[in-house]
Amino acid sequence: MYRVCFVCTGNICRSPMAEAVFRAQVRDAGLDGLVEVDSAGTGGWHLGEPADPRTAAVLEGAGYPLTHVARQFEPEWFERYDLVVALDEGHAAELRALARNSGEAAKVRLLRSYDPDADPDDLDVPDPYYGGRQGFTACLEMVEAAVPGLLSEVAAALDVREAG
């Protein structure tokens, strides 16, 4: 099993969106039983809450199912996950600070680093929380552009594990 956790600020907008999109693509690639997908926030402001209604609406409109309860990333989770995917540089920095060693810190990656068309100097997925629906739609577009590259890396890692 290869385990991936997406992380944003409160785990109600960007990371549940990335989780839903990636889970759908994992399923479509036939990797359902081989890849576990989760999400969390760096903070606990929304613990136990569902995804933001705008996130849910944009995902539903695009055909992505979502069942979600917000949670906060804990340092010991690094042991559980193979990859911890941050939605912006701030999240990546917070996660690396939580890491207890360089191996754990190396598991942290930015989602848009998997988008070959993304500007390497601006890999953040902007937080749509304080804006309107258009920000959530733009967030979904960025997530959808990056997820195929991430899926390719995960599939390659699974091939290496099976060969080893």
For residues 141 and 138, give the distance between their C-alpha atoms in angstroms, rounded to a whole number.
Answer: 5
Rg, C-alpha atoms of the chain: 15
Active site residue ranges: 8, 14, 127
Q: What angle do CA 144, 147, 149 make, to 5 degrees?
A: 130
Question: What is the 3-state secondary structure of 53-73?
Answer: HHHHHHHHHCCCCCCCCCCEC
For residues 70 and 38, give the distance between their C-alpha atoms in angstroms, rounded to a whole number.
Answer: 10
Residues 6+ apart with CB under 8 A from 145: 112, 115, 117, 118
